[in-house]
Amino acid sequence: MCANLCTHLIIRWRKRNEQLVENLGDAIENGTRDQHSDALTVDGQKRKVEESEHLLNQRRDLLMNYRNAMDDLIKTDL
């Protein structure tokens, strides 16, 4: 279950990053900002950093839970 959740979060994170890169590319190419992305403003950048930190912390927690669960399984098997 933890592995599925980790995989889901990683896929979601990758899609979001791909979307941000595409939006930035469009903004650079067209000289305008995408209305759905504040990535080109300081406040937008701060929000993106906060979101990334939050996702990173979630991932760390999930990985620690997964690691602990695997350790418990190994101990049980021994």
Per-residue model confidence (pLDDT) at position 74: 86
Domain limits for position 56: 2-77
| Number of domains the chain contains | 1
Distance between CA atoms of residues 38 and 75, nearest Å: 48
Q: Which residues contact 38 (CB under 8 A, 6 or more apart)?
A: 44, 45, 47, 48
**pTM for this model (two decimals):** 0.44
- Position 12 confidence tier, pLDDT thresholds 50, 70, 90: confident
Q: Are 62 and 7 in contact (CB under 8 A)?
A: no
Distance between CA atoms of residues 37 and 19, nearest Å: 9
Per-residue model confidence (pLDDT) at position 58: 94
Whole-number Cα distances in Å, 29 to 25, 41, 67: 6, 17, 44
Residue 33 has pLDDT above 60, yes or no: no
